Homo-oligomer: A and B are copies of this chain.
Amino acid sequence: MLRNSITLKKIAIKLNVSISTVSKALKDSHEISADTREKIKAYARINGYRPNSIALSLKNQKTKTIGIIIPDIVNDTFSKVIEGVDQIAKKKGYNIMISSSNESLEKEAYNLKTLSDSQTDGFILSLSKETMLNKNYNHINYTIKSGIPIVLFDRVSDDIDCDKVIVDDVKGAYDATNLLIQKGKKNILLITTEDHIIVGKLRTQGYERALKNNDIKLDQALILKVDGDDRSEKFFFNLEKLILNTFKNNSQINGVFAVNDEYAGIVLRALKKLNLSIPQDVSVVCFTDGVISRFSSPSITAVRQHGIEIGRNSATKLIERIENDDNHNLPYRVDVISTIIIEREST
């Protein structure tokens, strides 16, 4: 906070006019004579007057700030969403406040509460795993009901009535699986999370649907459901062993679809140990087009979610609702950001 910042009052005293006069002059009001106007504007310019936005927020009951609450900050996909929100926010004169829920329901609710205390005009939020697991959406529904708009993205819920921006996980997974099948790989290993992680569940559905549409029998032995919450070194070490074993017991596998790029990275490691060549022996596709997909060897064909677009779309929607005076009459919209497959060396 500028200690020696200049205010309307200080200008008024200095120039021997009233505060109102200064305020109006700076707004080019015709109520103020050209002479006075110029004098005031010149003084303000020279002294670097900038309106105090806290005072404006209090007066206007608008903070021009939007809050983002995400489960994890250190995450490529979420970072891209923030980037997208930042782009739109900047353009529309909004600032963004960030807070991480750390996949915890309690922290998510706490952040929502504290940031709601007149600090933000609205929220962009992706549900924490714990929130989804407990299906406890009271904090969110309460916030919406009290008049603060929320846009949910990616991890959403049908039990919350609000604007949403989602990725068509089923279709993305379907396309990815289908690509493998088109390349002649019909024995496809799926590496996914347990069902309580909704995106894992949906991507599994896409996989299953692709097999069905191509008359390929579903083989439960080729579906590895792992603990989606664990991202420790040990977990990935065990995952590698699990993959190795699966390949040993199912030598017919010639394709792998992983629901995220971390799992795909581990797959590559396992395949290397098995001396299987990619994509000749086994083709690999994954969801999430992040740095792992781009920089691994071979680079991995991936389903790109357009995180930046998700962020831009969410921000646009939110700001529209914030600035629409009777936003309660605006029907809630759900936008599906379509995915595309970025083909790389692994297929």
Contact = CB atoms under 8 A, between A and B. Distances in A.
Given A57-B54, A291-B262, A295-B266, A97 B96 contact: yes
A83 B79 contact: no
Contact of A82 (B73, B97, B296): B73
A303 to B, nearest CB: 17
Interface in A131-183: 146-148
A250 interface: no
Given A117-B51, A295-B265, A3 B97 contact: no
Given A268-B297, A292-B292, 14 more contacts: A1-B63, A3-B146, A5-B118, A52-B58, A53-B119, A54-B54, A54-B58, A55-B58, A75-B79, A86-B100, A95-B114, A96-B97, A265-B291, A291-B292
B97 A95 contact: yes
Contacts of A46: none
Nearest to A271: B297
Contact of A95 (B62, B119, B148, B294): B119
A147 B57 CA distance: 22
Interface in A197-245: 236
A61 interface: yes
A308 to B, nearest CB: 8
A74 B79 CA distance: 5
A30 interface: no
Interface of A is mostly: mixed
B146 A53 contact: no
Contacts of A82: 73, 98
A103 interface: no
Contacts of A291: 76, 262, 265, 290-292
Contact of A146 (B2, B80, B292): B2
B83 A73 contact: yes
A96 B95 contact: no
B1 A265 contact: no
Interface in A298-339: 298-299
A52 B118 contact: yes
Interface string A95-126: 11111100000000000011111111100000
A99 B100 contact: no
Nearest to A269: B297
A292 B297 CA distance: 11
